[in-house]
Amino acid sequence: MKFVGFKMIFIVALSLMGSVVNSEETIDFKLPTNFKPVSYELNVVTHLEDKFMFEGVVCIRMTCVGATDTIVLHSASLNIDTKSVVVANCGENVIQVSSVSFDPDKELMHVKSTVNFKPCDEYVLTIPFTGNLTDDLVGYYRSSYVDKESNQTRWLAITYFEPLTARRAFPCFDEPEYKATFKIRLSHKKGLTSISNMKCMNQINCPSNSDYVVDEFEESPPMSTYLVVYMVSDFVYTEANSENDQVKYRVICKKDLAYQTEFAINLGPKVLKYYEDYFDEKFPLHKQDMATIPDFLSGSMENWGLATFLEICLLIDLDVANTEDVHTVALRITHELCHQWFGNIVTMKWWTSLWLYEGFAEYAGLHAVDFLFPESKYFQVQNVKNFLLILDIDSLQSAHPLSVAIGKPDEIGSIALDSVPIAKGPIFFHMMNTFLGENTFKQGIKNYIDKYKFANADQDDLWSLLTEEAHRQGTLDKNITVKQIMDSWTLQTGYPVLKVVRDYSAGTVTLSQERYLSIKSNSTDNKTCWWIPITMTTSGDINQTNATFWLNCENNDLTTPLANDIEWVIYNMQMTVLFRVSYDTRNWMGIICTLNDPTKYETIPTLNRVQLIVDSLGFSKVGDMDYGITFQLLKYLRNEKQYTPWFAALTEWRKIDYLLMRTPKHAVFQKNMRDMLSCVYSKFRNVEQEVNGYENIYFKTTVINRACEYQTKDCIQLVLDLFRKWMKSVDPDNNNILPKDIMHIDIYSNAIRYGGEEEWNFLWGRFQCSNNTSEKNDIIYALGCASKKSLLLRYLNWSLDESIIPREYASGVIISVKLTEVGFLVAKEFLYCKIADIYEYDQRKGDSLVEYVNNIASQMKTIEELKELQSFITKSSSYFKEPDSVIKQITETIEKNIEWTSKFYDKIVPY
């Protein structure tokens, strides 16, 4: 799924790092190292519908490592008869237990013996337990759905153990480094089926209950507790016709959604083969299942041999799906199947390394999608999107390092659900692939899997093997290690800006670096520095793309020759490394001259054009560059034919659009945007005309959506006409006449934005009738774009009523409503008045309330609004786990908006 210690060894080290893990930080809540589990026998009886509980027995075979009289393991929210806890040695001689006690705060169970356990001896600990199948979405929990044929509620039980909740399902050594084999038996009522990590070997009638059966599963390879999974349901499965008889591939889901499994069934075996080749390691299990869950904390989870997904993340109706839907589901599959090797065969030692495993799975998953759909350029497009996201998030003082120190157990949960590693990790792996060379990088990864298979490793172990391979192949100087380089990126907060200052009279260029911040600090942190591979190109040599040297702490103010007759120089070729580049004005003007020449702008590579757009707007936003220069650069877009530069520009413009909402200049800004878009809009204005290629489909969708948002009358009318044509069609649910290559969400959103109650009610009807989770999500988002206050208020209230809007769609309502001027005011009022109800309804997902608050804060831009929101959070502090942290985050966000408004409000429009 989705993210812990290392010491810095290299130069300036500890003083430079924003957060370095100290082993003492975790000692208070990590298990003592006296015992190491070898194997588990886990027997679980699941009672659905009548009791909503489970009962079981776990037998843990373990080796004593250090002399002690106490076994310490994890247990939480379980009922355990302490008198029934038994310890035996390998000869099955029972060892007397003097006491069994619990530490609820640390979720620990202590089994104390009357004698000392001997090092190197093996023991078996047997613990019977019972627990409730709650609806908390963690541990072993219950979920439900309504069967469409009978209109009856059907129940299922499923586990979700990452990061710390296997202990809620059975007593265990619940830390990733304690790998052991698992032999699982699941008892359940007849008529239901059970699945687990391994293949089911046998089913027998339950001796103690004639209504129940017992499923016995193969013993697993050594694995961590968070990867254990089991499920009891009435779901059906579809099996792939795989050429590889050694591995059975199945998709498990509700019966009425089985027709949406075709895509995943065809794709899965190809992806498994792709990774077997990539890692040079055969898939070690006899089967790979993928199951969909109606109610799930995460989008997907990589449990070994049985990956679990929200329905929208795996199922897809190919008759109505658009290109984005297809690639999004493909990425979910490729991501989780990558984890079967990088995460499951080799597992992190501790949660600090979660970023490593999530980041690599996303990186490899993106490349796997490119492999499956060679024409898509999917990796490039998604890497640009990740780049823009991280440039924004990591520019805040409140940002955190990628490798986060863990101070207490409840911090692990937020890391596990953190989206930053999913975006930032792939950027860093792409950077390493580039500066090491693909052959070195891939061989280093293979070496890592081979050396640590069925064991645990952290980022330092990977850095060591990559360094070893790079030195062997000669792709990295022997005086440099990957650890030196990558510690500066993963253990520090933020990213650098590379300052490029040319001395035209002397024919030189000076390079320096400092951290980029969206709010200027009173003091410059001169100690912060990164290892930056320097790549460049010039107007005189556009092919000069190899890294020529490294900029680091030792040479952080470096002057090198550069002929004064060179019109311009550009650094960070192909936008490979996460940093911004600031040039002197003369160099910027040279770049602008080339960009605004229709015959020359393509001599600058596409991804560098993306970075020039993003950097110029970013520097202008913080006052480091005059908006007048930026606008001169952006004029070149009238000739731009590629999607990614336009995507970058429109993404940054949207931030300005939000800042100008509810101000007199908003309409003027939108007119300027309409003018800017006019040329490219004319290329795509025929909504119903098909275009070919992934990028062109995205390009067309993005342009039409923004043209409508910026109130291009022609666009609005075209969308409304098309939507109303669909409204009048016969059987609109089974005959959606909207073109497939345009993302329906954009047509829906603008039809709702500029339509009325009739359009809103029609689309709401489609939500109620749809059996397509992707379509339902699109509709939920679009309905929040209404311009009528009464519609939005009713919609928000519905989001707290599960009988109207299912829980899994509720958060989408809140996020979508705040996106319009009217919606922002309604969403803010709703938050203030209904916070208790929002908290009570959605408290299972913990941080969703914080997300709601951050969404509201992102559009605030006055001191009065800041004080108002700070006061509200202070008064409502009981609803937030860490109210001070929330206040700090929203304060920085709003202060950034206030500063921009005071400095640039009067400068932004007249161009």
Residues belonging to the active site: 336
Query: Pairing between strand 153-160 and 569-571?
Result: unpaired
- Displacement of CA 446 from its chain's centroid (Å): 25
C-alpha–C-alpha distance, residues 838 and 834, integer Å: 6
Known binding-site residue numbers: 335, 339, 358
For the chain, how long is the longest CA-to-CA vector? 93
Q: HSE on the CB side for 892, CA within 13 Å? A: 18
Question: Which contiguous run of DSSP H or E holds residue 515?
Answer: strand 508-515
Q: Residue 19: which of 321, 402, 314 has the closest Cα?
A: 402
3-state helix, strand, coil in the chain (%, to 5): 45, 20, 35
Long-range contacts: 640-643, Cβ < 8 Å, 24+?
Answer: 640/601, 640/609, 640/680, 642/606, 642/609, 642/695, 643/381, 643/695, 643/696, 643/698, 643/699, 643/702
C-alpha–C-alpha distance, residues 442 and 444, integer Å: 5
Task: Take residue 145 and report the two structure tokens written for it.
Answer: 């759905």
Cβ neighbours, 10 Å, residue 50:
8
Task: Take residue 35 and report the two structure tokens written for it.
Answer: 């015992």
Q: Residue 77: which of 31, 129, 29, 15 has the closest Cα?
A: 129
Q: Residue 215: which of 40, 41, 39, 43 has the closest Cα?
A: 43
Which residue type, as a one-letter code, is found at position 662?
Answer: R
Q: What's the burial of 813, exposed, middle or buried (CB within 10 Å: 0-12/13-18/19+)?
A: buried
* Whether the Cβ atoms of residue 895 and residue 518 lie closer than 8 Å to each other: no
Q: What's the burial of 546, exposed, middle or buried (CB within 10 Å: 0-12/13-18/19+)?
A: exposed
- Displacement of CA 449 from its chain's centroid (Å): 23
C-alpha–C-alpha distance, residues 660 and 761, integer Å: 30
Angle between helices 323-339 and 694-709 (to 10 degrees): 120
- DSSP code string of 807-833: HHHHHHHHHHHTTSHHHHHHHHHHHHH
Known binding-site residue numbers for Zn(2+): 335, 339, 358
Which residue type, as a one-letter code, is found at position 755?
Answer: G
Task: Take residue 680 and report the two structure tokens written for it.
Answer: 């490219």
Cβ neighbours, 10 Å, residue 358:
29
